């Protein structure tokens, strides 16, 4: 817990956090609102129609898990650059505790960010939410597994990429690919090929679909598949991240 607190105090830039919150809100209140005039409604998959702004608002909340995940890579990257990685490992913590410190800090940031965006988007989403325990569990699962996946991905990237410029450019590019080939902005099903296939392989699509299912009380046919697939992807990418992390030479 001491390490988690330290990670959140020392490695998180307040200005970056602020803009990470602004980013999804911009999508909801500017893009979503703007497109409402063009896209009248979107079918959630069970015949229910919602406005594009509502559809996008739910996706934009899951967008914060990407930002939370990027923070995991940034934390590790700053510590390696500033010599704190070795310093901490020569102190009362071992590598497992160090990586867990990053994981928990990332989860807190990712989930807290999502909740803040959710609260701010509530005026848009409020009427469409189907409150239930099942829904809450699905929402929580989506946020936790999504943050785990993108956190693991960013940690692996930060191990491989040594310069800050490369890390920033590559992580921004890769996360944009994840973002624009997911179901955050449009449903994967009716999308043209190859976007549809790519979207169906994209873990952000699963995160977003599970989140929407929980939020709107949906029971899409693929949900039973999406949950375990996202869990496996999150665990697999996290195992790769831990493997890469263990190989960091000091």
Partner 1 sequence: MSTGLAIDAQQLTRRFHDKVAVADATFQVGQSEVFGFLGPNGAGKTTTTKMLTTLLPPTSGSATVLGFDLRTQGSKIRERIGVVQQQDSFDQGLNVETSMDLYGLLWNVPGNVRRDRVRQLIEDFSMEEFRRTSSLDLSIGQRRRLQVAREFVHDMDLLFLDEPTVGLDPLVRRHALNYFKQKVKEGLSIFFTTHILEEAEYLCNRIAVINHGRIVAVDTPANLKRKFGTAKEVEFRFLEGASPEFQRLLSTHDEVESVEMDKDSGAYRAKTSKPELVIPEVYRVAEKLGLHVSSVYISETTLEDAFISMVEGADREAKAG
* Structure letter (DSSP) for residue 126: G
Peptide bond into 194 cis (omega under 30): yes
Structure-token match 């505790």, residue found: 97
Structure-token match 């010599």, residue found: 83
Could you tell me which residues are beta bridge partners of residue 42? 50
* Residue 15: CB minimum distance to partner 1, A: 10
Q: In the complex with partner 1, which residue's Cβ is closer, 2 or 40?
A: 2
Q: Which of 23, 33, 35, 93 binds partner 1 (CB under 8 A)?
A: 93
Q: How far apart are CA 195 and CA 179, in angstroms?
A: 12
| Sole window of 89-97, 148-156, 175-183, 228-236 interacting with partner 1 (rule: CB under 8 A) | 89-97
Q: How far apart are CA 227 and CA 141, in angstroms?
A: 8
28 close to 60: Cβ distance less than 8 angstroms:
yes
Q: In the complex with partner 1, which residue's Cβ is closer, 13 or 43?
A: 13
66 close to 175: Cβ distance less than 8 angstroms:
yes
Contact characters 139-178, partner 1, x per CB under 8 A: ----------------------------------------
* Interacting residues with partner 1 between 12 and 51 (CB under 8 A): 13
| Sole window of 32-40, 45-53, 88-96, 180-188 interacting with partner 1 (rule: CB under 8 A) | 88-96
* Residue 225: CB minimum distance to partner 1, A: 42
57 close to 125: Cβ distance less than 8 angstroms:
yes
Is 88 an interacting residue with respect to partner 1 (CB under 8 A)?
Answer: yes
* Structure letter (DSSP) for residue 192: P
Q: In the complex with partner 1, which residue's Cβ is closer, 165 or 193?
A: 165
Q: In the complex with partner 1, which residue's Cβ is closer, 105 or 111?
A: 105
* Residue 20: CB minimum distance to partner 1, A: 16
């Amino acid at each position: 817990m001491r390490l988690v607190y330290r990670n959140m105090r020392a490695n998180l830039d307040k200005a970056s956090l602020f803009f990470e919150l602004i980013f999804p809100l911009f999508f909801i209140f500017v893009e979503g609102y703007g497109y409402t005039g063009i896209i009248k409604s979107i079918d959630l998959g069970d015949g229910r129609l919602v406005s594009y702004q509502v559809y996008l608002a739910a996706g934009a909340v899951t967008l914060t898990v990407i930002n939370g995940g990027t923070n995991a890579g940034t934390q590790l990257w700053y510590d390696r650059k500033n010599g704190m990685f070795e310093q901490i490992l020569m102190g009362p913590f071992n590598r497992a505790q160090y990586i867990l410190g990053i994981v928990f800090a990332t989860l807190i940031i990712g989930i807290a960010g999502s909740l803040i965006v959710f609260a701010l988007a509530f005026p848009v989403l409020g009427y469409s939410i189907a409150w239930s325990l099942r829904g809450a569990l699905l929402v929580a699962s989506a946020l936790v597994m999504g943050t785990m996946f993108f956190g693991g991905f960013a940690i692996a990237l930060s191990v491989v990429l040594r310069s800050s410029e490369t890390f920033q450019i590559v992580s921004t590019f890769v996360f944009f690919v994840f973002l624009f080939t997911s179901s955050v902005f449009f449903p994967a099903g009716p999308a043209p090929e190859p976007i549809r296939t790519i979207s169906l392989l994209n873990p952000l699509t699963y995160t977003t679909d599970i989140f929407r299912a929980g939020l709107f009380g949906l029971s899409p046919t693929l949900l039973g598949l999406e949950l375990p697939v996202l869990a496996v992807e999150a665990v697999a990418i996290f195992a790769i991240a831990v493997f890469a992390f263990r190989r960091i030479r000091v």
